[in-house]
Homo-oligomer: A and B are copies of this chain.
Amino acid sequence: MKNTYGSSVAVTIFGESHGEAIGLVIDGMAPGIPVDREFIEAQLTLRRPAGKISTARQEQDPYQIVSGVFEGKTTGTPICIVIPNSQTRSKDYAATRALARPGHADFTAYAKYHGYEDYRGGGHFSGRITAGIVAGGAVAITALRGKGIEIGTHIARCAGISDRPFAADPAADIAAVQKMPFAVLDEQAAAAMRERIEAAAADGDSVGGVLETIVTGLPAGVGEPWFDTLEGVLAHALFGIPAVKGVQFGDAFDLIDQPGSVYNDAFRMQDGRVTTATNHNGGINGGITNGMPVLFRLAVKPTPSIYKAQETVDFFRGENAQLQIHGRHDPAVIHRARVVADSLTALVLCDVLAGRFGTDWLAEA
């Protein structure tokens, strides 16, 4: 399998940036989950470019649910969502297609597909494909919410500026970030990040950062020791988000110099439940949830499409070349990637939970 992920709840994506449409199929979602079109639209809006810190391309994402939903609820059969493409300016691409954009997939797509790839606008590698994941992920988020599971992601760091961490009791923070177009908990940090993004844009450059995701409400005992650790299963999918180059659970790289006596999370009883005093392990021990919030961070590299002139090659001619990118590009995608992380996380968790507790569990009262 290549473009399909998951087993009990499987996601298949399709589409190219400048083809007819992009979309996805979700197979195995429990029957009876409400499909809230306003919520889907709200989620798509969070992904949509907006303002000075995004591309000028206006995407309306007029999605169609062509199967798997009947009378406002999931049927249990495959949900196919199609988002037609429009506003595509394709003519410019042919001339420069062999000039590999550094950091982008032009050359590797060519190496893999031997020139048959649809190269226009990044083709199948375009971030546009994530719109389908967001639309489908909205259904997964609704399903999880029905079981008391909430997902929140904020921009923990961007362009050298750090946000504050989630509060010890994260419910309010999660509710807040879920609706923010620019999901930063600390307003001053948010302002400083925006400033730096705008400065990079002005400079024809781009910035990256770190997303931090928290998941609350997962029961203990979910995940596997080998090889389907919850870490591995989530990371596998998350590395599919364009620009994600690192995934860590809990503190990992950030606490790696500390000894075991610091890194270990002491267990303690609280309100009759097993909890931990700290959460350096991100809520997962031995690949399995321990009942604490699951916490992970994603390294989102700077958008590779920048306006500054770059050294590259023409891979048709096998010659060095100079590249000057035109068109519409984001100086940062991290704020748009945020809702993609939430959506994909929700889809993967639906898969893991349906595998653990059965195909109907997500819809049970």
Contacts and interface: CB of A to CB of B under 8 A. Distances in A.
A302 interface: yes
B301 A111 contact: no
Counting every copy of the chain, the complex holds 4
A248 B281 CA distance: 17
Interface stretch (A43-51, A145-153, A169-177, A206-214): A206-214
Contact of A299 (B5, B256, B265): B256
A309 to B, nearest CB: 10
A150 B129 CA distance: 35
A247 B316 CA distance: 34
Nearest to A200: B259
A111 B290 contact: yes
A160 B358 CA distance: 44
A360 B240 CA distance: 23
Interface stretch (A52-60, A99-107, A136-144): A99-107
A41 interface: no
Interface residues of A, number: 155
Given A113-B31, A286-B109, A103 B25 contact: no
B359 A359 contact: no
A39 to B, nearest CB: 19
Contact of A66 (B4, B20, B116): B20
Interface in A68-110: 68, 70, 73-80, 82, 84, 100, 102-105, 107-109
Interface in A1-58: 1-5, 7-8, 10-16, 19-23, 25, 27-28, 31-32
A168 B83 CA distance: 45
Given A237-B232, A246-B246, A260-B103, A288 B112 contact: yes
B256 A235 contact: no
